[in-house]
């Protein structure tokens, strides 16, 4: 069984000069209580909700954090995004690593959907915990 705990919040608005803040997406990704260090997070526009454009990706840092920050060359369109998480490439060769749920590696199968709002910091953290059912 897979339990996915999500912490979600957002804040933002205008800068002191009255300009809109750049849109960003930030958070932390953990797997079994540990940072998903070296992994990748993908935010793919949801076509069923009018989303268009290329997916947004970020590497997950050693502490589990990630950040996608809007720039003129990399705009972040507001709207709904499907999210996927991928472990680092060496994951499958690590003898201690629990199997990573394959469905989470595909935006169309992960079941993770997030609303990205323009002009603010969108905070989305993901904690993936695999649980073993108790035997009677």
> Which CATH number fits the domain 2-130, given the four candidates 3.40.640.10, 3.30.530.20, 2.60.40.10, 3.60.21.10?
2.60.40.10
pTM of the predicted model as reported, rounded to 2 decimal places: 0.81
Let me know the angle formed at the C-alpha of 119 by 115 and 125, rounded to the nearest 5 degrees: 45
- Residues 28 and 43: their CA atoms lie apart, in Å, by 14
User: Among 111, 123, 104, 118, which Cα is nearest to 40's?
Assistant: 104
| pLDDT tens over the chain, length 136 residues | 445 544 444 444 444 555 567 899 999 999 999 999 999 999 999 999 988 889 999 999 999 999 999 999 999 999 999 999 999 987 766 666 678 898 999 999 999 999 999 999 999 999 999 876 555 5
């Amino acid at each position: 069984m897979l339990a996915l705990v999500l912490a979600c919040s957002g804040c933002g608005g205008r800068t002191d000069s009255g300009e809109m803040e750049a849109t960003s997406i930030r958070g932390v990704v953990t797997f079994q209580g540990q940072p998903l260090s070296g992994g990748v997070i993908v935010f793919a526009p949801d076509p069923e909700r009018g989303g268009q454009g290329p997916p947004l990706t970020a590497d997950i840092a050693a502490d589990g954090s990630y950040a996608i920050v809007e720039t003129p060359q990399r705009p972040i369109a507001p709207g709904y995004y499907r999210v996927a998480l991928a472990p680092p490439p060496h994951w499958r060769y690590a003898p201690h690593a629990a199997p990573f749920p394959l469905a989470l590696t595909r935006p169309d199968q992960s079941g993770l959907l997030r609303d990205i709002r323009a002009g603010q910091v969108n905070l989305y953290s993901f904690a993936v915990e695999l649980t073993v059912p108790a035997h009677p």
